[in-house]
Amino acid sequence: MATQMGENELWLLSFYRTSEIGGALFFGRLARSMKQGANQRDMSKHFADEAQHAWLWTSCIERLGAHPLKLTDAYQDQYLAAAGLPVNLMEVLAVTQIFESRVINQYARHQRASGLHPIVGETLERIMEDEKWHVEWVRRALRAMEPEYGKERIEKTIRHFREADEEVYRKTILEHEERVAHLADVMARTRGEEPKDGR
């Protein structure tokens, strides 16, 4: 079967897949280190979801007639290098909230793109169901920790990890600027708009 997507779209879907694999490994390590209880239970489901998402992107790419690209760096690896490892459960959950906010925003933007292939749209819709739950459970768990850590400390921790996330995201976009710009142009053409570089 001939591939139904270009090189840049294949790179993007492979990037999603690599990030989901990185997320599964990261959250799996966290779940293993956590004390037994509701948070460990939810984190265990969370990492299982991430592994399933990696499979869904693998399947999506194959259904489009291609094979996933082997990408070396996961988003999470760069993120932890910039932000540092979390040192307690509250920081673990703050990191998780930032990761999931980034993912859900990126997938939502992709979902709204004109000319979206139905297979990609179906995959995004399936994954977004889980992502919404991820954001909910983490927000609920952080709120329950306010008596122990204090609301201000939790908010300050979230800001710290958000700043690291923004730094890594900017770096990622700059590293892959040509691919991202090309995809933006393709999306613009499907809407009948003039690409930014006038091509």
**Domain tally, the chain:** 1
Q: Is residue 197 part of a domain?
A: no
Residue 17 located in a structural domain: yes
What range does the domain containing 39 cover?
A: 7-190
Q: Enter the pTM of the model.
A: 0.82
**pLDDT tens digits, one per residue of 15-66:** 899 989 988 988 898 888 888 999 999 999 999 999 999 999 999 999 999 9
Q: Quick one: pLDDT at residue 99?
A: 83
Is residue 132 scored above 60 in pLDDT? yes
CATH of the domain at 13: 1.20.1260.10
Q: What pLDDT score was predicted for residue 44?
A: 95
Query: Considering the domain boundaries, does residue 198 fall inside one?
Result: no
Q: What is the pLDDT of residue 191?
A: 47
Residue 7: the pLDDT is 84
- Can you tell me the distance from the alpha carbon of 179 to that of 197, in angstroms, rounded to the nearest whole number? 14
If you average pLDDT over every residue of the chain, what do you get?
Answer: 84
Q: With a cut of 50, say whether residue 82 has pLDDT above it.
A: yes
Domain assignment present for residue 155? The answer is yes
**Structure confidence at residue 167 (pLDDT):** 84
Is 1 inside any structural domain?
no
- For the segment 152-187, what is each residue's pLDDT rounded down to a tens digit? 999 999 999 998 888 887 777 666 666 656 555 555
Q: Indicate whether 157 belongs to any domain.
A: yes
